[in-house]
Chain A
Amino acid sequence: MSFIRTLALTILLGLLLQLVLPWWGIALAGAIAGAIGTRNLLSAFLAGLLGAALLWGGYAAYLNDLNQGLLAEKMGILLKGVGANGMLILTAIVGGIYGGLGALLGCWARRLLRPGKA
């Protein structure tokens, strides 16, 4: 359950933090979720990665749908021809990496600071 909890926390905190912080708010959201969620490093990383990827990819997909794919198509050409869908996948991956790294570091920091409870 703590995997799901960490994942949900990443999404929820990400949503809140990104309203006030620049883009790296997603890494911070992962870090906080990792620090108060699962105690397993791998599970924290994966939960942060998946949560952030869902948040970035999902929101981008929503905006893309309203835009009928117009801009993603052009940005896909600009970024080495990855295509419109490629832009969505790239967005999810990049968001996921920052969220996942954040969660890993958050979880890890807590384990280092409070080793007794590991």
Chain B
Amino acid sequence: MRYALFILTLILAVILVIAGHRNHPFGSALPPLGKLLDPFGGFWQNAEPASAPKSQVIDLPGIKEKVEVVFDERLVPHIFAANHYDACYAQGYITAKYRLWQMDFITRAAAGRLSEVVGEKTLERDRLQRRKGMTLAAERTLKAWSDNSEEMPFIEAYTAGVNDYIASLKPADYPLEFKLLDYAPEPWSTFKTALAAKSMAETLCFRNDDLQSTNVLRMLGDSLYNDLFPDYPPGQTPVIPADTPWPFTPVTPHQTAPAPPPYGDLIRFALPNPPPFIGSNNWAVAGKKTTTGHPILCNDPHLGLSLPSIWYEIHMNTSECNVYGVSFPGTPGILIGFNDYIAWGETNVSHDVLDWYTLTWVDEAKTEYLLDGKPRKVEYRIEEIKVKGRQAPLLDTIKFTAWGPVVYPDPASPYHDMAMHWLSVDMPENQDFHEVGVFHRLMCGHNYEDYYQALSGLSSPAQNFVFASSQGDIAMTVNGKFPIKADQQGRFLQQGDQSANGWQGFIPYEQIPRVKNPAQGYVASANQHSVAPDYPYYYNGGFDMYRGRLINRLLSENKKFSPSDMMAMQNNTYSIQAEEGLPALMSALDTSSLTPIQKDMWNDLRGWNFYFDKNKKTPAVFYRWLTRSYKDTFDEWYTSPDSNYLDYPDMWRFVALLKDSPTHTLFDQAATGKREQARDIVTQAFQAISAELADVYHDDAFDWRSEKAVRIGHLAGIDAFSQLNVDIGGHSDAINAVKKSFGPSWRMVVSLGPEVKAWGVYPGGQSGNPGSPYYDSMVGQWAQGNYNELLFVKSADALREHEQFRITFQ
């Protein structure tokens, strides 16, 4: 009996130990409490001392010569190395030291390997990543890098640096999220760097709406479709100024526009799309228009606002170059930055480089399909997906055609037999260098010629590369590989049984849109159309209507710009959408019987200056009114059971309809007996939003900031590690394009000349550890529109006043 009781207690103790050791013990929602709370190995070890760490000397057998890394007050590393190889080695080590979990998470998400550590919850997401061809794309990219490319040594050095850091870790040192999700870091690899590159491509050039457009074309017919979705919006100011000549003979596409295949019904199928106009601003102003007499270059890429931040700020000084900017964790080098001679930055081009094709199967088992009248066998690729909690991995067989993968596997859908051709999955061409090499060449570039040569290596994601040099040149290149298409090709679903429906080669590098030192004295891009309609190649895509026009308007003013003018411009919240949209709404509104609250709103709107300031109420009223009117007008879309599978007209087109065609049949609502016009829709929308806001409109707490509630979310969605309700204004179509969870992810202003000076800020901090004071240390500054002067020095000694501590690698 005495023994029985003892054994029972022992069993209880063992159960408790197991419960304390496992994540979600016995099906509960609990984390591994014993392991996590243990102050010797659990989360307390990630509670970093607020005081500066001590300097360290670390032996790394892989480096060639001694490297000094000085950390300044903001924890920005300044790497001083004898050569580029060692600098990349140190960059790998340091980036892993501060961002290891982020690197692991981004590449897992790209490769469809989240379920390994999360479980069933992410399985469908993982499957989709594989079916889109992400792992194949990364394999092909790595193959291209490995075949004699000049960047491979740098990628290998970076990988070795990351792995040296991982090898130095004890479980107690693992980043917090590894402990919370209860898994261990695995070694880095060059393949993971390829995955990081593909994850960037996915964010920036996966967006496609071929199927949604095909559906809307069926729904509306040609004439109304073309009216609502014109190729080129009137009044746009393209990335390359409209008067730029095209002094070349274009390669003519051999075929005219293919008709969409004869589908009578809607295609009820849509992949999750990256958000539209995920974008950015950049511009460069020539010395004749600046107070310094030398060019000033600015860039603010808008991406998902996240913690840890997407960017890691870094300064690399080697015998080959002295360069400063932001890097993407997982990738060696600097993606947006400057050196003593040049500065560069990017915005997204957003051309459509992803097309869908129908398939004509030969046999019932769907192992062969027709291409140009001949049967072709599909190729199979088997993806193995490990799932936490499952004994055996899931094996997913993906069929590949000449076009690409047959993405959608569910045979229950009549529309699953379609193949996807996405530029980023294509085998890269045999070149001396690829995407990583592009940036290494820019990092060490001296002049326009170096920039021109460097950009030739990039295929996707295509970017508008702005450029300025201390010699006085400014330039803009719409850069990347662009498929040659017949007019309208790739807008809609295409028939996959004719190879002629494929891309007809690529626009030669010399013929892609670019401009150098235009007479206007500046260049600018903001995800708008690349060129005026006279450019001799057809392209389609999703383009911003407002930011580019505002930047052009401001920069064309007859004045000289200072760096602080440029900072103010990056934080400008003025909206042309409001400037054009509000008068259109107001003139359509029936003001004969306004209630007191509606009168207040009306008067406030009349006095509004179109700035989306955080502490104003009018931006919230305007935006609700505009979007409500839009939805009520396109009620045919929103009330359709297939609303998820449709393409929606751009907002500028709606505003133009209000202004120019207030009696258009689109304003008629099907559900009512009445024949509505713009006036009815707009008035009814105003009544609806004034009813919604009646109780809060006069509250001090109600303003644009509270309406928008900007969130900088933790990558794994943990609220406790996020910044919620950030104190900031701005709007998606203002230059300061802060949306709910997207926005300027790095603001940079570089003043070139004999002495290069630069300023920057991003919505996060240098450390990826939620337990570090540097996790989100710049968020407040970013929201306020303040900048840090970047410590762009030539030697470690020059940092003496700013040095917190240093790491010496030897």
Given contacts A18-B40, A24-B34, A94-B37, are A67 and B721 in contact (CB under 8 A)? Answer: no
Closest chain B residue to A56, Cβ basis: B39
Q: Quick check: B20 and A22 within 8 Å, CB to CB?
A: no
Interface membership of chain B positions 38-60, coded 1 if the CB is closer than 8 angstroms to chain A and 0 otherwise? 11111111111111000000000
Binds A, one of B9-17, B144-152, B680-688: B9-17
Given contacts A67-B771, A71-B770, are A90 and B37 in contact (CB under 8 A)? Answer: yes
Q: Quick check: A71 and B2 within 8 Å, CB to CB?
A: no
Tell me if B671 is interfacial: C-beta within 8 Å of chain A: no
> Which of the residues B16, B34, B46 comes within 8 Å of A71, measured between beta carbons?
B46
Tell me if A1 is interfacial: C-beta within 8 Å of chain B: no
**How far is A67 from B49 in the complex, measured between Cα atoms in Å?**
4
Q: Quick check: B46 and A22 within 8 Å, CB to CB?
A: no
Q: Quick check: B13 and A102 within 8 Å, CB to CB?
A: yes
Q: Shortest beta-carbon distance, B653 to chain A, in Å?
A: 44
Closest chain B residue to A102, Cβ basis: B13
Q: Quick check: A112 and B47 within 8 Å, CB to CB?
A: no
Given contacts A101-B16, A105-B10, A105-B13, are A70 and B44 in contact (CB under 8 A)? Answer: no
Q: Shortest beta-carbon distance, B118 to chain A, in Å?
A: 16
Tell me if A9 is interfacial: C-beta within 8 Å of chain B: no
**Contacting residues, chain B, for A18 (C-beta < 8 A):** 38, 40-41
Q: Quick check: B47 and A67 within 8 Å, CB to CB?
A: yes
Q: Shortest beta-carbon distance, B147 to chain A, in Å?
A: 45
Q: Quick check: B720 and A74 within 8 Å, CB to CB?
A: yes
Q: Quick check: A105 and B9 within 8 Å, CB to CB?
A: yes
Q: Quick check: A60 and B720 within 8 Å, CB to CB?
A: no
Q: Shortest beta-carbon distance, A53 to chain B, in Å?
A: 12
Q: Quick check: B37 and A108 within 8 Å, CB to CB?
A: no
Task: Point out which of A25, A70, A74, A109 has the most chain B C-beta atoms below 10 A from its C-beta.
Answer: A74
**Contacting residues, chain B, for A67 (C-beta < 8 A):** 47-50, 771
Given contacts A90-B37, A91-B44, are A75 and B6 in contact (CB under 8 A)? Answer: no
Interface residues of A in 31-74 (CB under 8 A from B): 56, 59-60, 63-64, 66-68, 70-72, 74
Q: Quick check: A66 and B9 within 8 Å, CB to CB?
A: no
Interface membership of chain B positions 702-740, coded 1 if the CB is closer than 8 angstroms to chain A and 0 otherwise? 000000000000000011110000000000000000000
Given contacts A67-B771, A70-B771, are A19 and B10 in contact (CB under 8 A)? Answer: no
Tell me if B187 is interfacial: C-beta within 8 Å of chain A: no
**How far is A22 from B771 in the complex, measured between Cα atoms in Å?**
22
Tell me if B434 is interfacial: C-beta within 8 Å of chain A: no
**How far is A68 from B39 in the complex, measured between Cα atoms in Å?**
16
Given contacts A66-B49, A71-B770, are A23 and B10 in contact (CB under 8 A)? Answer: no
Tell me if A7 is interfacial: C-beta within 8 Å of chain B: no
Tell me if B26 is interfacial: C-beta within 8 Å of chain A: no
Q: Quick check: A112 and B38 within 8 Å, CB to CB?
A: no
**How far is A55 from B13 in the complex, measured between Cα atoms in Å?**
20
Tell me if B248 is interfacial: C-beta within 8 Å of chain A: no
Tell me if A97 is interfacial: C-beta within 8 Å of chain B: yes
Q: Quick check: A108 and B9 within 8 Å, CB to CB?
A: yes
Closest chain B residue to A17, Cβ basis: B40
Q: Quick check: A66 and B50 within 8 Å, CB to CB?
A: yes
**How far is A1 from B33 in the complex, measured between Cα atoms in Å?**
33
Q: Quick check: A23 and B38 within 8 Å, CB to CB?
A: yes
Closest chain A residue to B5, Cβ basis: A108
Q: Quick check: B37 and A95 within 8 Å, CB to CB?
A: yes
> Which of the residues B49, B720, B773 comes within 8 Å of A75, measured between beta carbons?
B720
Q: Quick check: A98 and B20 within 8 Å, CB to CB?
A: yes
Interface membership of chain B positions 190-202, coded 1 if the CB is closer than 8 angstroms to chain A and 0 otherwise? 0000000000000
Tell me if B275 is interfacial: C-beta within 8 Å of chain A: no
Q: Quick check: A71 and B9 within 8 Å, CB to CB?
A: no
> Which of the residues A63, A101, A108 comes within 8 Å of B44, measured between beta carbons?
A63
Tell me if B21 is interfacial: C-beta within 8 Å of chain A: yes
Closest chain A residue to B771, Cβ basis: A71
**How far is A24 from B38 in the complex, measured between Cα atoms in Å?**
9
**Contacting residues, chain B, for A22 (C-beta < 8 A):** 21, 35, 38, 41, 171
Task: Point out which of A19, A71, A97, A112 has the most chain B C-beta atoms below 10 A from its C-beta.
Answer: A71
Q: Shortest beta-carbon distance, B772 to chain A, in Å?
A: 8
**How far is A112 from B48 in the complex, measured between Cα atoms in Å?**
46
Tell me if A26 is interfacial: C-beta within 8 Å of chain B: yes
Q: Quick check: B6 and A56 within 8 Å, CB to CB?
A: no
**Contacting residues, chain A, for B33 (C-beta < 8 A):** 94
**How far is A65 from B255 in the complex, measured between Cα atoms in Å?**
72
Tell me if A27 is interfacial: C-beta within 8 Å of chain B: yes
**Contacting residues, chain B, for A94 (C-beta < 8 A):** 20, 33-34, 37
Known: A60-B44, A91-B37. 13 other contacts (CB 8 A): A18-B38, A19-B40, A23-B21, A23-B42, A27-B13, A59-B39, A63-B45, A74-B720, A74-B770, A78-B718, A90-B37, A101-B13, A105-B10
Which residues of chain A have a CB within 8 Å of any CB of chain B?
Answer: 18-19, 22-27, 56, 59-60, 63-64, 66-68, 70-72, 74-75, 77-79, 87, 90-91, 94-95, 97-98, 101-102, 104-105, 108-109, 112
A-B contact pairs, 16 of them (CB 8 A): A23-B21, A24-B20, A59-B40, A59-B44, A67-B47, A68-B50, A71-B176, A71-B770, A74-B721, A75-B43, A94-B20, A94-B34, A95-B39, A98-B20, A101-B9, A105-B10
> 8 closest Cβ contacts across the A-B interface?
A71-B771, A23-B38, A67-B47, A77-B720, A66-B49, A78-B720, A71-B47, A60-B39
